[in-house]
Amino acid sequence: MTTLAPTIYNRTFPNVSETVRNITLVLLGSWLIALFAQIEIPLPFSPVPITGQTFAVLLVGALLGSKRGAAAMLAYIAQGAVGLPFFAGGASGFGILTGATAGYLAGFIVAAYVVGMLAERGMERSFKTSIVPFLVGTIIIYVFGVTWLSTVVGSFGKAIELGLLPFVVGDVIKLVAAAVALPAAWKFVR
């Protein structure tokens, strides 16, 4: 596996069991996403806010790999659903899982898995190669998010207008930022 977080963790805590190590990494990943979810810019015309979550989802998937990345997303969603202020802007509760942003949350799980799988195959080692998994992950998030949003707002066209178009530029910036940050982290660890 070629992900970064286990390498750092193994060097810091060499005598901890693999199970404890995995649980710790999953929880840390979920908390990183919760932290970036607090970066929120509500849009008055859309039920979907701009957040830092996409950036964190891409990084966590690449850092933890497919299984731990997806587990971190599930842990993030579970913690927010039971009442921790983990969702965008400190929101919480089960209602978020059926609201306008539920599809994006489901997309986070799949995106983290796919980004992690591509990272495990070495696609996160340089800026050029890390763009591919991050672009794929972003598209997955949009597919899930916009599809679910279309059921909430009543049409696919309206969902694209409210849940895709206002976010493209920001998500391209987040995608590039993640592509820059991850290889830099690899160089730092070496």
pLDDT mean over 87-96: 94
Chain mean pLDDT for the chain: 89
pLDDT higher than 50, residue 189: no
What pLDDT score does 190 carry?
41
Backbone angles phi, psi at 41, to 5 degrees: -125, 105
Q: What is the pTM of this model?
A: 0.87
Q: Is 45 exposed, middle or buried (0-12, 13-18, 19+ CB in 10 A)?
A: exposed
Bigger pLDDT: 72 vs 175? 72
Helix (H, G, I), strand (E, B) or coil at 90: helix
What pLDDT score does 6 carry?
59
Give tens-digit pLDDT for 18-46: 899 899 999 999 999 999 999 999 999 99
Per-domain residue ranges of the chain = 4-189
The model's confidence at residue 179, banded by pLDDT at 50, 70 and 90, is confident
- Tell me the β-bridge partners of 101: none
pLDDT higher than 90, residue 91: yes
- Residue 167 has a CB neighbour count (10 Å cut-off) of 24
- Residue 168 has a CB neighbour count (10 Å cut-off) of 11
pLDDT higher than 80, residue 9: no
pLDDT mean over 68-72: 97
pLDDT higher than 60, residue 89: yes
Give tens-digit pLDDT for 92-151: 999 999 999 999 999 999 999 999 999 899 877 777 888 899 999 999 999 999 999 999
Give tens-digit pLDDT for 142-163: 999 999 999 999 999 999 999 9
The DSSP output letter for 133 is H
Give tens-digit pLDDT for 54-66: 999 999 999 899 9
Question: Given 1.10.1760.20, 3.30.950.10, 1.10.10.10, 2.60.40.2550, which CATH number is that of 4-189?
Answer: 1.10.1760.20
- CB 67 within 8 Å of CB 28: no
The DSSP output letter for 122 is T
